[in-house]
Amino acid sequence: MSDMRRLDDKTLQEIARLICGDDGPHYRQGRELARFLDDAGWKGPFDYDGERRLDWITQHLREHRDQPDDIEKVLIRLCDGREYLGEPAVTVTEVTQQLNQILVHEGYKVERPAGRPRLIECDPASASAATLAPVTLRTTMREVIQDPRLAAVLQSRLDEAQTSTENGCHVSAIIMLGSLLEGALLEAARTRLAPPPPPNHLKSLTLFKLLELARKHRWIGADALMYPCDALREYRNLVHPNAQLRMGDPPDRDTVDMCWPVVNATLNDLAASAPTGSPG
């Protein structure tokens, strides 16, 4: 039996909104709401009679709010990759991030080690950090990188970082994110600076210096520098086990979640500031 505490009604309403998905990553029609509850393991049948979708699902959540097992089943199903088969891989990650923004105020969050979601307790004080997480990537790598071969390489690293994140491979995710971010910033410096700096000079710059350079030239906004993600800036050290030991505690899911906003915000800004004539 679940030890989950009774959730506030406002929390239930926000969970209901996320399930409906009108403004979220995954939209559900009325009949899909009934199937969602069934797939979550609730005892039905559930007859959707055509009423307002948000009212229908909210009422069902309220009726079960004193049954923590059922509420937990809904939360777990929301973050289950099997719920989004055929959808982009990022969908389940965005749903999980948005759900955790809601749950953190109740002292809970969902983790997905090895791709299997589980509900755990967390410090509600981490709500401020959770609000940083969902910076949605609104661009494609080809809108950021002119060279199609380099764009393909960086896209593969982005995909690998996503897979690593979903499967709890935190070190791998940060290494992939750091390397692709450095690659994108190096390419921006190579193609946008006039005259182009010597290649050896660019290669000597750290990721943090590249971010500062991009900010100085207004290729990216200040938001990309505001996120507290030292692990991303020191990603090269994570490649070497001894250097990782000197960094202290190993990266965890919270560390990775603080890295994604830096990457997404930077890529969005690089695409938006691309010179006229760049692909897009």
Q: Kindly report the CA angle at 94 between 4 and 155, in degrees rounded to 5?
A: 145
118-127 pLDDT, tens per residue?
999 887 765 5
Report whether 259 contacts 173 (CB < 8 A): yes
Residue 1, pLDDT score = 60
Contacts with 217 (C-beta within 8 Å, 6 or more apart), sequence order: 192, 193
Residue 277, pLDDT score = 54
- Percentage of the chain modeled with pLDDT above 70: 90
Write the single-letter amino acid at 255: T
**Distance spanning both ends of the chain, measured CA to CA:** 52
Residues 232-262 as b or e (16 or more Cβ within 10 Å = b): bbbbebbeeeeebeeeeeebebebbbbbbbb
| Dist. CA 215–CA 205, nearest whole Å | 14
pTM above 0.85, yes or no: no
List, in sequence order, the alpha helices (H) in the chain. Answer: 9-20, 30-40, 53-63, 68-78, 90-103, 127-130, 141-144, 148-166, 170-192, 199-203, 207-216, 223-226, 230-233, 235-238, 241-246, 253-272
Q: How many CB atoms lie within 10 A of CB 8?
A: 12
20-73 pLDDT, tens per residue?
998 788 999 999 999 999 999 998 888 888 889 999 999 999 999 999 999 999
Report whether 214 contacts 188 (CB < 8 A): yes
51: burial class by Cβ within 10 Å (0-12, 13-18, 19+)?
Answer: exposed
Which position has the higher pLDDT, 230 or 136? 136
148-200 pLDDT, tens per residue?
999 999 999 999 998 888 888 989 999 999 999 999 999 999 999 988 888 88
| Dist. CA 187–CA 178, nearest whole Å | 14
Residue 223, pLDDT score = 65
Per-domain boundaries in the chain: 9-130, 141-272
The CA distances from residue 23 to 31, 95, 232, in Å, are 18, 11, 30
Tokens of 138: 């609104």
| Dist. CA 90–CA 162, nearest whole Å | 7
Q: How many CB atoms lie within 10 A of CB 86?
A: 5
Which position has the higher pLDDT, 139 or 29? 29
197-230 pLDDT, tens per residue?
888 888 888 888 888 889 889 999 876 666 556 6
